[in-house]
């Protein structure tokens, strides 16, 4: 442990020494260097230094923020970015000394949830989800929209990189700033707050999915339902996209919960609560998937039954028409010597016979359920 006095009432005893963190942070590049042309500020959403859980007043950039952190015990920097390009993120990565693989993860939109360690920096990737409102479910409408949040967690800083419109982190920062006791626990407290907010959003999307499934089920089993197999399949595809965003997060959270050396007990307890919420969401998704499979199978069975009924109706009407065709064919042969050919009422009698045969066959088919 460092010989520098630690602030009282904080949870920084578990963090690595600030001298060690400061030694890894590169000093600002002098004016006139090759980095002068970069403008990472266009992707920076917010940048702040927190001392003992309280935000330091005034505007700051990450250069001055890092200088403040290196000189102030019990402080850390939170830098938030939204969809930075490689050119935007390159000077930031150089300033913080980030691994090139970590930089690639920060500038890639679609990342699988994971937790990786590069030297003393942890890379934590989470997926964001947002329910897309729609009046009716069609075979091509979007139901869920996904993105990603990449967190670089160091001893004295956390960098959050968000891709996509979903998962805004401004509310997370605002809520944390109202709880300085939580922020005083350092960068991993930010990681927990971000994970907690995103997992809560998973549950909100899952509830909205349940409403769509209930509505679709009502339509499918309605007496005059139309063919909704395409809508069922589309909803199933959207559910699979949601599942790919949510389910893989179980392994990173389990790794954090088991990390007894790197994380303090209190932080691990927080992540254990997040993992419980995630497991409930995953269980919902699995249930919805099974339910959609059952609805799809039931709809296909309905279509098969409807087709059989249609074929029976066609066969019944064909049999009735065949009887009339047979009678008309016999009396249309134009032979000279045919029974009843010269009867005065022969035409009426034949018409009556055709009517009686058709009526009898129709009633027989109705009783058997074919018509």
SS3 of 39-104: the string is: CHHHHEEEEEEEECCEECCCCCCHHHHHHHHHHCCCEEEEEEEECCCHHHHHHHHHHHCCCHHHHH
- Is there a contact between 25 and 96 (Cβ–Cβ < 8 Å)? yes
The pLDDT assigned to 38 comes to 42
pTM to 2 decimals? 0.73
Give the residue-averaged pLDDT of 71-91.
91
Task: Cite the residue boundaries of each domain of the chain with CATH code 3.30.460.20.
Answer: 12-301
Tokens of 155: 């001893």
- Segment among 149-153, 215-219, 251-255 with least mean pLDDT: 215-219
Identify the residue with better confidence: 183 or 216.
183
- What is d(CA 93, CA 79) in angstroms, rounded to the nearest whole number? 12
> In CATH, what is the architecture of 12-301?
2-Layer Sandwich (3.30)
**Of 34 and 368, the one with more pLDDT:** 368
Q: What is the reported pLDDT for 134?
A: 84
265-275 mean pLDDT = 91
pLDDT band for position 189 (cuts 50, 70, 90): very high
**26-49 average pLDDT score:** 56
CA 184 to CA 190: how far, in whole Å? 10
Mean pLDDT score of the chain: 81
């Amino acid at each position: 442990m460092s010989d520098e006095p630690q602030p009282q009432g904080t949870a920084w005893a578990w963090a690595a020494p600030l001298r060690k963190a400061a030694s890894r942070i590169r000093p600002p590049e002098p004016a006139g260097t090759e980095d002068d042309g970069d403008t990472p500020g266009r992707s920076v959403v917010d940048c702040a230094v927190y001392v003992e859980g309280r935000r330091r007043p005034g505007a700051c950039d990450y250069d001055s923020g890092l200088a403040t952190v290196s000189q102030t015990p019990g402080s850390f920097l939170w830098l938030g970015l939204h969809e930075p390009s490689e050119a935007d993120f390159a000077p930031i990565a150089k300033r913080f000394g980030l691994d090139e693989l970590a930089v690639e993860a920060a500038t890639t939109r679609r990342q699988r949830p994971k937790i990786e360690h590069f030297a003393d920096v942890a890379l934590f990737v989470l997926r964001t989800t947002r329910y897309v409102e729609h009046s009716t479910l069609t075979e091509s409408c979007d139901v869920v929209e996904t993105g990603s949040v990449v967190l670089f967690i160091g001893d004295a800083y956390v960098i959050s990189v968000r891709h996509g419109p979903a998962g805004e982190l401004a509310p997370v920062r605002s809520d944390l700033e109202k709880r300085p006791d939580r922020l005083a626990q350092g960068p991993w407290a930010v990681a927990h707050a971000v994970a907690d907010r995103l997992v809560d959003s998973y549950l909100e999307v899952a509830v909205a999915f349940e409403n769509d499934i209930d509505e679709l089920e009502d339509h499918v089993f309605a007496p005059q339902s139309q063919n909704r197999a395409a809508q069922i399949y589309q909803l199933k595809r959207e559910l699979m996209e949601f599942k790919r965003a949510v389910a893989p997060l179980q392994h990173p959270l389990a790794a954090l919960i088991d990390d007894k050396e790197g994380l303090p007990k209190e932080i691990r307890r927080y992540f254990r609560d997040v993992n419980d919420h995630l497991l409930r969401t995953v269980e919902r998704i699995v249930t919805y998937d099974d339910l959609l499979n059952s609805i799809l199978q039931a709809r296909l069975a309905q279509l098969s039954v409807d087709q059989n009924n249609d074929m029976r109706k066609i066969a019944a009407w064909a049999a009735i028409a065949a009887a009339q065709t047979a009678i008309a064919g016999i009396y249309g042969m134009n032979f000279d010597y045919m029974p009843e050919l010269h009867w005065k009422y022969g035409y009426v009698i034949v018409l009556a016979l055709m009517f009686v045969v058709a009526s009898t066959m129709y009633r027989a088919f109705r009783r058997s359920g074919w018509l």
